[in-house]
Chain A
Amino acid sequence: KQEVTQIPAALSVPEGENLVLNCSFTDSAIYNLQWFRQDPGKGLTSLLLIQSSQREQTSGRLNASLDKSSGRSTLYIAASQPGDSATYLCAVGLITQGGSEKLVFGKGTKLTVNP
C-alpha cells in the first residue's frame, strides 16, 4: 500500500528565508507527483505537477524535484513571504489495478512565514 510522508509537520521561518519541504513515498510505481497549497478552510490549489519521467518543475519562486528511485520529492520555496503561509500537501498519482487513477496524499506541512 502506498504511503506518503511529509516532513516536517510544521515549519516556522522568518520572511526572506529559503526553505525546503520534504515528501517521501513507499512505492516508486507512480505516474506523477503533485504539490498543493491549502489555506485554512479552503480547498487545494495545485502548485506544481511533475510527471514520472521528469526530474523537476519550476514556477516562480517554487521548484519541485522528483527522485522516483529513492521515493522522494522536495518543494523548494525561495525568498519566502508571509503570504506563503499555508499547509503544503504532497500527493502521488497512482494507476489502480482497475485502470483508474487516484492521488494518495501526505498529511501536509504547515508553513508559517513571520514578517
Chain B
Amino acid sequence: GAGVSQTPSNKVTEKGKYVELRCDPISGHTALYWYRQSLGQGPEFLIYFQGTGAADDSGLPNDRFFAVRPEGSVSTLKIQRTERGDSAVYLCASSLIADTGELFFGEGSRLTVL
C-alpha cells in the first residue's frame, strides 16, 4: 500500500479484555516497529521485527503484551487482560532496510481501557 495502515483506528474496551491491533506496513519494508504514545509524551519503543522474527522485544512492558509477524509483512500486537494504564496510542512504523533509519509511521490505534 501507499503507507503504513493500522486498524482499528480507535478501540474502546473494558478492563480485563483481550485486544488485537493490526499493522500493515509499506509493501517491501522488512523492518517493522511498534511504539506506544501516552498523552503528552513522545512515542516509546515496544518491539522491532526484522522479517518474521522479533529482533528486539525489550520495550514490551510485561508478559501481557505480545506481537507477531508470521509472514514478514502484517503484524499484530496482542494485549491480554487489559488494564486502564494500557490506554494510549499504539503506533506502527516500517522501514525499507533497518539501517537506513528513516521510519514511516501509521496513524496509530487509539486504545481506551475503561
The residues of A with any CB-CB pair to B shorter than 8 Å are 4, 31-32, 34, 36, 41-46, 49, 51, 89, 91, 93, 96, 98-108
Contacts and interface: CB of A to CB of B under 8 A. Distances in A.
A99 B48 CA distance: 11
20 contacts: A31-B99, A34-B103, A36-B105, A42-B107, A42-B108, A46-B102, A46-B105, A89-B42, A98-B58, A99-B55, A100-B50, A100-B56, A100-B98, A102-B48, A103-B33, A103-B43, A103-B45, A103-B103, A105-B43, A108-B42
B104 interface: yes
Interface residues of B, number: 30
A89 B105 CA distance: 13
B61 interface: no
Contacts, number: 70
B58 A101 contact: no
A32 B30 CA distance: 19
A49 B102 contact: yes
Interface of B: 4, 6, 31, 33, 35, 40-45, 48, 50, 55-56, 58-59, 91, 93, 98-99, 101-108, 110
A22 B91 CA distance: 24
A89 B41 CA distance: 10
A103 B31 CA distance: 13
A101 B42 contact: no
B107 A43 contact: yes
A93 B45 contact: no
Q: Is chain A's interface secondary structure helix, strand, loop, or mixed overall? A: strand
A34 B102 CA distance: 8
Given A107-B40, A107-B41, A98 B101 contact: no
B102 A102 contact: no
B101 A101 contact: yes
Count chain B CB atoms within 10 A of each CB in A4, A43, A45, A107 and give the residue with the most: A43
A44 B105 contact: yes
Contacts of A91: 42-43
A6 to B, nearest CB: 8
Given A43-B91, A96-B58, A105 B42 contact: yes
